[in-house]
Amino acid sequence: MPAKKKPDAKPLAGVALIKEVCRRIRLARSRWDAHNNAACRAEREKAIELYESLTPAEREKVPQVLRVWLRYRSEKYFGEGRTPPGGGRR
The predicted-structure confidence for 31-61, as pLDDT tens digits, reads as follows 888 888 888 888 888 888 889 888 899 989 9
Count CB atoms within 10 A of the CB of residue 79.
9
pLDDT band of 8, cuts 50, 70, 90: low
**d(C-alpha 9, C-alpha 14), whole Å:** 15
Quick check: pTM over 0.85?
no
- Residue 68's SS3 state is helix
Cβ proximity of 53 and 13 under 8 Å: no
What percentage of the chain exceeds 90 in pLDDT? Answer: 10
Q: Is the pLDDT of residue 1 over 70?
A: no
How far apart are alpha carbons 87 and 7 in whole angstroms?
44
- The upper half-sphere exposure of residue 28, i.e. CA atoms within 13 Å in the direction of its Cβ, equals 24
